């Protein structure tokens, strides 16, 4: 595994940012590290998904950036502990309604990158994410946590893996959930989302200058967790 970048502080980091492209393992790894340290874990992709589902559900025109921005600014988004029967690391509430079960719907999957490139949407949702992070220890995963949301994080990790490897992992997850998709479709969708997430003008997907880049190709998620645990403990 290739690793580059540097650790920002000495001692056990309290604020940990995990960024990277779709299906790089951020959520699985972040949840496990959070559990080991006793820190809450927040997957910010779920917040963009919740916003996207709400926009679809309320019939907002996804090409109308003002309408999307107004909607994002008007929503009350909150996060709670996971439901026992859910694979999601948290329960997401929009205006006090639990929307967690809708977050992986194909319509949301198809639209979320488009909704999240709108500047007004990002502005409103970054504010929500900072409020949720509070002043306590936290592990947060997303695309722009180290660059924009929590630029002072004590440890920033950027997970990378080839798109083929990520497609294999995501396909296995979706198949296990009983969803009817092919690996080809998953690969195609990841390529599309990588392109939109990296090419958008506001907060594009990229590692922070002080992020440690972990190339996870060929590693199991347990091995990635182990590597991250070593970074947290400062043993590397």
When asked if residue 204 is in the footprint of ligand DC (CB under 6 A), the reply is: no
Q: Name the strands in the sheet holding 15-19, side by side, starting at the edge strand that comes first in the sequence.
A: 3-4, 212-215, 155-160, 15-19, 138-142, 41-43
Binding mask 26-55 for ligand DC (x = CB under 6 A): ------------------xx--xx------
d(CA 23, CA 1): 18
Contact 17, 224 (CB under 8 A): no
CB of 82 to ligand DC, least distance (A): 15
DSSP structural state of residue 128: H
CB of 233 to ligand DC, least distance (A): 26
Burial of 93 (0-12, 13-18, 19+ CB in 10 A): middle
d(CA 231, CA 85): 32
Q: In terms of CB distance, is 186 or 232 closer to ligand DC?
A: 186
CB of 208 to ligand DC, least distance (A): 12
CB of 145 to ligand DC, least distance (A): 6
When asked if residue 170 is in the footprint of ligand DC (CB under 6 A), the reply is: no
Q: Which stretch binds ligand DC (CB under 6 A): 30-38, 70-78, 111-119, 209-217?
A: 111-119
Nearest to 205 by CA among 123, 131, 116: 116
Q: Which stretch binds ligand DC (CB under 6 A): 8-16, 75-83, 136-144, 170-178?
A: 136-144
- Residues forming contacts to ligand DC in the complex (CB under 6 A) are 22, 44-45, 48-49, 112-113, 116, 142-145, 193, 197
């Amino acid at each position: 595994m290739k690793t580059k970048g540097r650790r920002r502080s000495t001692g056990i980091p309290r604020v940990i940012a995990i960024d990277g492209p779709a299906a790089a393992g951020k959520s699985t790894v972040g949840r496990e590290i959070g559990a080991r340290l006793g820190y809450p874990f927040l997957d910010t992709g779920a917040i963009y998904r919740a916003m996207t589902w709400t926009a679809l559900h309320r019939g907002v025109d996804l090409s109308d950036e003002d309408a999307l921005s107004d909607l994002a600014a008007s929503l009350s988004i909150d996060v709670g502990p996971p439901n026992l029967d859910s694979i999601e690391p948290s329960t997401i509430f929009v205006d006090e309604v639990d929307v967690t079960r809708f977050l992986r719907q194909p319509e949301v999957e198809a639209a979320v990158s488009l909704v999240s490139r709108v500047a007004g949407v990002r502005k409103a949702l970054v504010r929500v994410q900072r409020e949720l992070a509070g002043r306590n220890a936290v592990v947060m995963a997303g695309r722009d946590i180290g660059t924009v949301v929590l630029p002072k994080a004590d440890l920033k990790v950027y997970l990378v893996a080839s798109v083929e490897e990520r497609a294999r992992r995501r396909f296995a997850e979706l198949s296990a959930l009983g969803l009817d998709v092919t690996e080809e479709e998953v690969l195609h969708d990841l390529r599309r989302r990588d392109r939109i997430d990296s090419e958008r003008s506001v907060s594009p997907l990229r590692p922070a200058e002080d992020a440690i880049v972990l190339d996870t190709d060929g590693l199991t998620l347990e091995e990635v967790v182990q590597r991250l645990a070593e970074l947290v403990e400062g043993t590397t």
